[in-house]
Structure 1
Amino acid sequence: MLLSYMLGSIPFGLLLTAASGQGDIRQIGSGNIGATNVLRTGNKKLAAATLLLDGLKGALAVLIAWVMTPPELGDRAASLAAIFAVLGHCFPLWLGFRGGKGVATGLGVVLALSPVTGLACCLIWLVGAKVTRISSAGALLAFACMPVILFFLNGHSFSGSEKPLAGVLVACIIFVRHRANIARLLNGTEPRIGQSSH
Protein backbone atom coordinates (compact mmCIF):
# COMPACT_ATOMS: atom_id res chain seq x y z
CA MET A 1 0.00 0.00 0.00
CA LEU A 2 2.84 2.38 0.84
CA LEU A 3 4.68 1.61 -2.40
CA SER A 4 1.48 2.11 -4.38
CA TYR A 5 0.82 5.41 -2.65
CA MET A 6 4.36 6.59 -3.37
CA LEU A 7 4.12 5.59 -7.03
CA GLY A 8 0.76 7.28 -7.37
CA SER A 9 2.01 10.48 -5.81
CA ILE A 10 4.71 11.15 -8.43
CA PRO A 11 3.43 14.46 -9.93
CA PHE A 12 4.34 13.92 -13.58
CA GLY A 13 2.32 16.92 -14.78
CA LEU A 14 4.19 19.23 -12.43
CA LEU A 15 7.58 17.70 -13.22
CA LEU A 16 7.13 17.70 -17.00
CA THR A 17 5.86 21.28 -17.23
CA ALA A 18 8.67 22.52 -14.99
CA ALA A 19 11.31 20.61 -16.96
CA SER A 20 10.01 21.97 -20.27
CA GLY A 21 10.15 25.57 -19.08
CA GLN A 22 6.36 25.98 -18.82
CA GLY A 23 6.60 26.97 -15.16
CA ASP A 24 4.50 25.69 -12.27
CA ILE A 25 1.37 24.01 -13.64
CA ARG A 26 -0.38 24.85 -10.37
CA GLN A 27 -0.30 28.51 -11.42
CA ILE A 28 -2.00 27.79 -14.78
CA GLY A 29 -5.68 27.27 -15.57
CA SER A 30 -7.42 25.24 -12.89
CA GLY A 31 -4.19 24.74 -10.94
CA ASN A 32 -4.56 20.98 -11.33
CA ILE A 33 -1.48 18.83 -12.00
CA GLY A 34 -3.24 16.47 -14.43
CA ALA A 35 -3.18 16.16 -18.21
CA THR A 36 -6.29 18.29 -18.83
CA ASN A 37 -4.69 21.29 -17.16
CA VAL A 38 -1.32 20.60 -18.80
CA LEU A 39 -3.17 20.84 -22.12
CA ARG A 40 -4.01 24.43 -21.19
CA THR A 41 -0.34 25.30 -21.62
CA GLY A 42 -0.92 24.72 -25.33
CA ASN A 43 1.57 21.84 -25.42
CA LYS A 44 -0.36 18.77 -26.61
CA LYS A 45 2.68 16.50 -26.48
CA LEU A 46 3.30 17.44 -22.86
CA ALA A 47 -0.34 16.77 -22.01
CA ALA A 48 -0.20 13.38 -23.76
CA ALA A 49 2.99 12.47 -21.89
CA THR A 50 1.35 13.44 -18.59
CA LEU A 51 -1.71 11.33 -19.40
CA LEU A 52 0.43 8.35 -20.34
CA LEU A 53 2.76 8.54 -17.33
CA ASP A 54 -0.05 9.11 -14.84
CA GLY A 55 -1.80 6.06 -16.27
CA LEU A 56 1.35 3.94 -16.27
CA LYS A 57 2.16 4.65 -12.62
CA GLY A 58 -1.29 3.36 -11.66
CA ALA A 59 -0.95 0.25 -13.80
CA LEU A 60 2.56 -0.38 -12.48
CA ALA A 61 1.36 -0.22 -8.87
CA VAL A 62 -1.25 -2.91 -9.57
CA LEU A 63 1.17 -5.14 -11.51
CA ILE A 64 3.82 -4.91 -8.77
CA ALA A 65 1.22 -5.94 -6.19
CA TRP A 66 0.38 -9.04 -8.21
CA VAL A 67 4.07 -9.95 -8.58
CA MET A 68 4.85 -9.42 -4.89
CA THR A 69 2.03 -11.58 -3.50
CA PRO A 70 1.06 -15.26 -3.78
CA PRO A 71 -1.70 -16.07 -6.30
CA GLU A 72 -4.40 -16.57 -3.68
CA LEU A 73 -3.86 -13.00 -2.45
CA GLY A 74 -3.27 -11.45 -5.85
CA ASP A 75 -6.69 -9.87 -6.38
CA ARG A 76 -6.77 -8.45 -2.86
CA ALA A 77 -3.26 -6.97 -3.11
CA ALA A 78 -3.90 -5.58 -6.58
CA SER A 79 -7.19 -4.02 -5.48
CA LEU A 80 -5.52 -2.34 -2.50
CA ALA A 81 -2.71 -1.15 -4.76
CA ALA A 82 -5.27 0.38 -7.13
CA ILE A 83 -6.95 2.32 -4.34
CA PHE A 84 -3.71 3.61 -2.83
CA ALA A 85 -2.18 4.59 -6.19
CA VAL A 86 -5.21 6.79 -6.87
CA LEU A 87 -5.06 8.18 -3.32
CA GLY A 88 -1.38 8.99 -3.88
CA HIS A 89 -2.12 10.89 -7.07
CA CYS A 90 -5.02 12.83 -5.55
CA PHE A 91 -3.40 13.48 -2.16
CA PRO A 92 0.42 13.46 -2.53
CA LEU A 93 2.33 14.02 0.70
CA TRP A 94 4.99 16.25 -0.91
CA LEU A 95 2.43 18.63 -2.42
CA GLY A 96 0.58 19.22 0.81
CA PHE A 97 -1.97 16.51 -0.11
CA ARG A 98 -3.16 18.67 -3.03
CA GLY A 99 -2.72 16.61 -6.19
CA GLY A 100 -4.66 15.74 -9.30
CA LYS A 101 -8.16 14.42 -9.78
CA GLY A 102 -7.18 10.82 -10.46
CA VAL A 103 -8.66 10.20 -13.90
CA ALA A 104 -5.56 9.00 -15.78
CA THR A 105 -4.23 7.10 -12.76
CA GLY A 106 -7.68 5.62 -12.18
CA LEU A 107 -7.84 4.42 -15.77
CA GLY A 108 -4.35 2.98 -15.42
CA VAL A 109 -5.24 0.92 -12.35
CA VAL A 110 -8.47 -0.31 -13.94
CA LEU A 111 -6.69 -1.32 -17.14
CA ALA A 112 -4.29 -3.40 -15.04
CA LEU A 113 -7.02 -4.85 -12.78
CA SER A 114 -9.40 -5.69 -15.62
CA PRO A 115 -8.29 -4.86 -19.18
CA VAL A 116 -11.82 -5.27 -20.56
CA THR A 117 -13.22 -2.85 -17.99
CA GLY A 118 -10.36 -0.44 -18.53
CA LEU A 119 -10.83 -0.37 -22.30
CA ALA A 120 -14.58 0.11 -21.87
CA CYS A 121 -13.98 3.03 -19.49
CA CYS A 122 -11.49 4.64 -21.88
CA LEU A 123 -14.05 4.39 -24.67
CA ILE A 124 -16.82 5.82 -22.47
CA TRP A 125 -14.56 8.69 -21.41
CA LEU A 126 -13.57 9.55 -24.99
CA VAL A 127 -17.12 9.35 -26.33
CA GLY A 128 -18.52 11.30 -23.37
CA ALA A 129 -15.89 14.02 -23.71
CA LYS A 130 -16.38 14.23 -27.49
CA VAL A 131 -20.17 14.47 -27.28
CA THR A 132 -20.29 16.99 -24.41
CA ARG A 133 -16.99 18.76 -25.18
CA ILE A 134 -16.42 18.59 -21.43
CA SER A 135 -13.55 16.41 -20.21
CA SER A 136 -14.87 16.06 -16.67
CA ALA A 137 -18.28 14.88 -17.92
CA GLY A 138 -16.67 12.07 -19.90
CA ALA A 139 -14.46 11.10 -16.97
CA LEU A 140 -17.30 11.06 -14.44
CA LEU A 141 -19.45 8.97 -16.78
CA ALA A 142 -16.62 6.46 -17.23
CA PHE A 143 -16.00 6.09 -13.52
CA ALA A 144 -19.71 5.85 -12.75
CA CYS A 145 -19.83 2.89 -15.17
CA MET A 146 -16.61 1.26 -13.95
CA PRO A 147 -17.88 -0.45 -10.75
CA VAL A 148 -20.96 -1.66 -12.63
CA ILE A 149 -18.83 -3.26 -15.36
CA LEU A 150 -16.54 -4.86 -12.79
CA PHE A 151 -19.60 -6.15 -10.91
CA PHE A 152 -21.03 -7.86 -14.00
CA LEU A 153 -17.65 -9.26 -15.05
CA ASN A 154 -17.29 -10.67 -11.53
CA GLY A 155 -20.43 -12.80 -11.91
CA HIS A 156 -22.88 -10.24 -10.47
CA SER A 157 -21.25 -10.48 -7.06
CA PHE A 158 -19.00 -8.59 -4.67
CA SER A 159 -17.73 -11.89 -3.22
CA GLY A 160 -14.84 -13.93 -4.58
CA SER A 161 -12.91 -10.89 -5.75
CA GLU A 162 -12.15 -7.48 -4.31
CA LYS A 163 -12.08 -5.84 -7.73
CA PRO A 164 -15.69 -4.55 -7.79
CA LEU A 165 -15.30 -3.05 -4.30
CA ALA A 166 -12.01 -1.45 -5.34
CA GLY A 167 -13.85 -0.02 -8.34
CA VAL A 168 -16.46 1.53 -6.06
CA LEU A 169 -13.79 3.11 -3.82
CA VAL A 170 -11.72 4.42 -6.73
CA ALA A 171 -14.86 5.92 -8.28
CA CYS A 172 -15.77 7.54 -4.95
CA ILE A 173 -12.31 9.12 -4.63
CA ILE A 174 -12.54 10.52 -8.16
CA PHE A 175 -16.06 11.85 -7.64
CA VAL A 176 -14.97 13.57 -4.42
CA ARG A 177 -12.04 15.17 -6.25
CA HIS A 178 -14.46 16.35 -8.95
CA ARG A 179 -17.01 17.87 -6.56
CA ALA A 180 -16.34 21.40 -7.86
CA ASN A 181 -16.66 20.14 -11.45
CA ILE A 182 -19.95 18.44 -10.58
CA ALA A 183 -21.29 21.70 -9.14
CA ARG A 184 -20.29 23.56 -12.31
CA LEU A 185 -21.81 20.85 -14.50
CA LEU A 186 -25.09 21.19 -12.63
CA ASN A 187 -25.22 24.95 -13.07
CA GLY A 188 -23.87 24.90 -16.64
CA THR A 189 -20.60 26.73 -16.03
CA GLU A 190 -18.11 23.89 -16.48
CA PRO A 191 -15.54 24.93 -19.15
CA ARG A 192 -15.61 23.01 -22.40
CA ILE A 193 -12.48 21.52 -23.92
CA GLY A 194 -10.35 24.34 -25.28
CA GLN A 195 -11.82 26.94 -22.95
CA SER A 196 -9.99 28.36 -19.92
CA SER A 197 -10.92 27.11 -16.48
CA HIS A 198 -12.34 29.40 -13.82
Structure 2
Amino acid sequence: METHGGRGLYDLSSEETAKTHEAAEGIALLSPDPGTPFGQALGAAKARGGPQAYPGSPLVAEALLRPQDRLVLMEAHPKEHAGLKRTMRGTIAEVHRRNGYEGSLALAPLEPRRGLVLIDPSYEDKTEYERAGRHTLALRKKWPEAAVLIWYPLLKAGRHKDLLGVLEGDDSLVSEVSFSLKEGRGMTGSGLVLLGAPYGADAAFERALAQGTPVLKPLR
Protein backbone atom coordinates (compact mmCIF):
# COMPACT_ATOMS: atom_id res chain seq x y z
CA MET A 1 0.00 0.00 0.00
CA GLU A 2 1.21 3.51 -0.82
CA THR A 3 -0.30 6.71 0.54
CA HIS A 4 1.09 9.19 -2.03
CA GLY A 5 1.45 7.33 -5.32
CA GLY A 6 2.27 10.20 -7.69
CA ARG A 7 1.93 9.48 -11.41
CA GLY A 8 3.96 6.27 -11.26
CA LEU A 9 6.10 6.78 -14.40
CA TYR A 10 8.40 9.68 -15.30
CA ASP A 11 10.15 10.89 -18.45
CA LEU A 12 13.75 11.92 -17.76
CA SER A 13 13.88 13.79 -21.08
CA SER A 14 10.94 16.05 -20.18
CA GLU A 15 11.26 19.82 -19.86
CA GLU A 16 10.27 19.58 -16.20
CA THR A 17 13.13 17.17 -15.45
CA ALA A 18 15.64 19.25 -17.40
CA LYS A 19 14.90 22.30 -15.23
CA THR A 20 15.92 20.61 -11.97
CA HIS A 21 19.01 18.74 -13.27
CA GLU A 22 18.25 16.10 -10.63
CA ALA A 23 18.30 13.16 -13.06
CA ALA A 24 21.62 14.26 -14.59
CA GLU A 25 23.17 14.46 -11.12
CA GLY A 26 21.53 11.28 -9.85
CA ILE A 27 20.10 8.29 -11.67
CA ALA A 28 21.93 9.14 -14.93
CA LEU A 29 25.23 8.52 -13.12
CA LEU A 30 24.19 5.06 -11.91
CA SER A 31 24.14 1.68 -13.64
CA PRO A 32 21.90 -0.54 -11.48
CA ASP A 33 22.59 -4.25 -11.70
CA PRO A 34 19.69 -5.67 -13.78
CA GLY A 35 19.62 -8.71 -11.53
CA THR A 36 18.74 -6.69 -8.43
CA PRO A 37 15.19 -5.65 -7.47
CA PHE A 38 15.67 -2.02 -8.52
CA GLY A 39 17.45 -3.07 -11.70
CA GLN A 40 14.47 -5.28 -12.56
CA ALA A 41 12.03 -2.46 -11.95
CA LEU A 42 14.09 0.01 -13.97
CA GLY A 43 14.33 -2.44 -16.86
CA ALA A 44 10.58 -3.03 -16.81
CA ALA A 45 9.90 0.73 -16.88
CA LYS A 46 12.23 1.28 -19.85
CA ALA A 47 10.67 -1.62 -21.72
CA ARG A 48 7.31 0.02 -21.19
CA GLY A 49 8.08 3.73 -21.62
CA GLY A 50 11.33 3.92 -23.59
CA PRO A 51 15.00 4.53 -22.71
CA GLN A 52 14.28 7.76 -20.79
CA ALA A 53 11.51 6.26 -18.66
CA TYR A 54 11.96 6.14 -14.89
CA PRO A 55 9.69 4.21 -12.50
CA GLY A 56 7.99 5.83 -9.55
CA SER A 57 7.52 3.70 -6.46
CA PRO A 58 4.20 2.19 -7.68
CA LEU A 59 5.95 0.68 -10.71
CA VAL A 60 8.89 -0.47 -8.60
CA ALA A 61 6.45 -2.33 -6.35
CA GLU A 62 4.45 -3.69 -9.28
CA ALA A 63 7.57 -5.13 -10.93
CA LEU A 64 8.38 -7.10 -7.78
CA LEU A 65 4.94 -8.46 -6.85
CA ARG A 66 4.42 -12.15 -6.28
CA PRO A 67 1.28 -13.88 -7.64
CA GLN A 68 -0.41 -13.78 -4.22
CA ASP A 69 0.27 -10.08 -3.58
CA ARG A 70 -2.00 -7.02 -3.76
CA LEU A 71 -1.06 -3.45 -4.62
CA VAL A 72 -3.19 -0.59 -3.27
CA LEU A 73 -2.27 2.96 -4.33
CA MET A 74 -3.65 6.31 -3.26
CA GLU A 75 -3.22 9.75 -4.82
CA ALA A 76 -5.38 12.77 -4.02
CA HIS A 77 -4.13 15.27 -6.64
CA PRO A 78 -6.47 15.09 -9.69
CA LYS A 79 -3.75 15.37 -12.36
CA GLU A 80 -1.36 12.99 -10.63
CA HIS A 81 -4.19 10.53 -9.98
CA ALA A 82 -5.13 10.56 -13.66
CA GLY A 83 -1.50 9.89 -14.57
CA LEU A 84 -1.32 7.07 -12.03
CA LYS A 85 -4.48 5.47 -13.47
CA ARG A 86 -2.90 5.53 -16.94
CA THR A 87 0.40 4.15 -15.70
CA MET A 88 -1.18 1.27 -13.79
CA ARG A 89 -3.74 0.35 -16.45
CA GLY A 90 -3.54 -3.38 -17.16
CA THR A 91 -1.94 -4.20 -13.80
CA ILE A 92 -3.54 -5.64 -10.66
CA ALA A 93 -3.11 -2.32 -8.82
CA GLU A 94 -6.11 -0.83 -7.04
CA VAL A 95 -5.86 2.94 -7.58
CA HIS A 96 -7.84 5.25 -5.27
CA ARG A 97 -8.30 9.01 -5.54
CA ARG A 98 -8.35 9.87 -1.87
CA ASN A 99 -6.22 11.29 0.91
CA GLY A 100 -3.56 8.71 1.62
CA TYR A 101 -3.63 9.13 5.39
CA GLU A 102 -7.39 8.73 5.57
CA GLY A 103 -7.45 5.95 3.00
CA SER A 104 -4.73 3.79 4.50
CA LEU A 105 -6.36 3.86 7.93
CA ALA A 106 -9.79 3.14 6.45
CA LEU A 107 -8.58 0.17 4.41
CA ALA A 108 -6.19 -1.32 6.98
CA PRO A 109 -5.65 -4.11 7.67
CA LEU A 110 -5.43 -5.65 4.23
CA GLU A 111 -5.46 -9.35 3.50
CA PRO A 112 -3.04 -11.06 3.61
CA ARG A 113 -2.24 -9.44 6.93
CA ARG A 114 1.52 -9.22 6.38
CA GLY A 115 2.18 -6.15 4.25
CA LEU A 116 4.22 -3.06 3.55
CA VAL A 117 2.97 0.53 3.61
CA LEU A 118 5.02 3.26 1.92
CA ILE A 119 4.49 6.83 3.13
CA ASP A 120 6.24 9.45 1.00
CA PRO A 121 4.44 12.81 1.03
CA SER A 122 5.85 15.98 -0.53
CA TYR A 123 6.58 17.63 2.87
CA GLU A 124 5.71 21.01 1.36
CA ASP A 125 4.00 21.85 4.65
CA LYS A 126 6.45 21.84 7.56
CA THR A 127 3.84 20.12 9.75
CA GLU A 128 3.91 17.12 7.40
CA TYR A 129 6.81 15.53 9.26
CA GLU A 130 4.99 15.24 12.55
CA ARG A 131 1.79 14.28 10.76
CA ALA A 132 3.50 11.41 8.94
CA GLY A 133 4.93 10.15 12.21
CA ARG A 134 1.65 10.26 14.11
CA HIS A 135 -0.15 8.61 11.21
CA THR A 136 2.41 5.81 11.25
CA LEU A 137 1.81 5.13 14.93
CA ALA A 138 -1.97 5.04 14.39
CA LEU A 139 -1.59 2.74 11.39
CA ARG A 140 0.73 0.38 13.24
CA LYS A 141 -1.75 0.19 16.08
CA LYS A 142 -4.54 -0.82 13.70
CA TRP A 143 -2.35 -3.04 11.51
CA PRO A 144 0.53 -4.39 13.64
CA GLU A 145 1.49 -7.03 11.07
CA ALA A 146 2.45 -4.35 8.53
CA ALA A 147 5.89 -2.90 8.04
CA VAL A 148 5.78 0.86 7.42
CA LEU A 149 8.47 2.55 5.33
CA ILE A 150 8.65 6.36 5.46
CA TRP A 151 10.73 8.46 3.07
CA TYR A 152 11.78 11.96 4.10
CA PRO A 153 14.03 14.71 2.70
CA LEU A 154 17.03 16.10 4.53
CA LEU A 155 16.93 19.90 4.48
CA LYS A 156 19.04 22.51 6.23
CA ALA A 157 16.08 23.29 8.51
CA GLY A 158 16.32 19.77 9.97
CA ARG A 159 12.56 19.28 10.17
CA HIS A 160 12.89 15.52 9.71
CA LYS A 161 13.80 15.44 13.41
CA ASP A 162 10.12 16.14 14.14
CA LEU A 163 9.23 12.90 12.36
CA LEU A 164 11.91 10.80 14.04
CA GLY A 165 11.03 12.34 17.40
CA VAL A 166 7.43 11.14 17.13
CA LEU A 167 8.65 7.63 16.30
CA GLU A 168 11.26 7.53 19.07
CA GLY A 169 10.87 4.45 21.24
CA ASP A 170 9.35 2.35 18.46
CA ASP A 171 11.80 -0.21 17.07
CA SER A 172 12.92 1.09 13.69
CA LEU A 173 15.61 0.86 11.05
CA VAL A 174 16.92 4.23 9.83
CA SER A 175 19.04 4.86 6.74
CA GLU A 176 20.14 8.35 5.67
CA VAL A 177 22.28 9.47 2.75
CA SER A 178 23.67 12.80 1.62
CA PHE A 179 24.29 14.11 -1.88
CA SER A 180 25.47 17.37 -3.39
CA LEU A 181 23.43 19.15 -6.03
CA LYS A 182 25.52 21.50 -8.15
CA GLU A 183 23.45 24.55 -7.34
CA GLY A 184 23.52 23.78 -3.63
CA ARG A 185 19.82 24.41 -3.04
CA GLY A 186 17.00 22.32 -1.65
CA MET A 187 17.63 18.81 -0.37
CA THR A 188 21.02 17.85 1.01
CA GLY A 189 20.04 14.19 1.29
CA SER A 190 17.20 11.87 2.11
CA GLY A 191 16.24 9.24 4.63
CA LEU A 192 14.21 6.11 5.12
CA VAL A 193 12.81 4.82 8.39
CA LEU A 194 11.31 1.33 8.47
CA LEU A 195 9.10 0.19 11.35
CA GLY A 196 8.23 -3.46 11.82
CA ALA A 197 11.20 -4.41 9.67
CA PRO A 198 11.27 -8.04 8.53
CA TYR A 199 14.37 -10.16 9.01
CA GLY A 200 17.09 -9.22 6.54
CA ALA A 201 15.87 -5.67 5.93
CA ASP A 202 19.13 -4.11 7.11
CA ALA A 203 21.12 -6.21 4.65
CA ALA A 204 18.71 -5.27 1.86
CA PHE A 205 19.24 -1.58 2.66
CA GLU A 206 23.02 -2.07 2.43
CA ARG A 207 22.79 -3.87 -0.92
CA ALA A 208 20.61 -1.12 -2.35
CA LEU A 209 22.92 1.60 -1.04
CA ALA A 210 25.95 -0.09 -2.61
CA GLN A 211 24.47 0.59 -6.05
CA GLY A 212 24.16 4.29 -5.27
CA THR A 213 27.74 4.91 -4.13
CA PRO A 214 28.65 7.09 -7.15
CA VAL A 215 26.03 9.59 -5.94
CA LEU A 216 25.06 8.80 -2.34
CA LYS A 217 27.14 9.11 0.82
CA PRO A 218 25.85 7.12 3.85
CA LEU A 219 25.16 9.16 6.97
CA ARG A 220 23.75 6.35 9.12
Structure number with higher helix proportion: 1
Indicate whether the TM-score tops 0.5: no
More strand by share: 2
For Structure 1 versus Structure 2, the TM-score category normalised by the shorter chain is under 0.3
- TM-score normalized with structure 1 length: 0.28
TM-score by length of 2: 0.26
Greater Rg by CA:
2
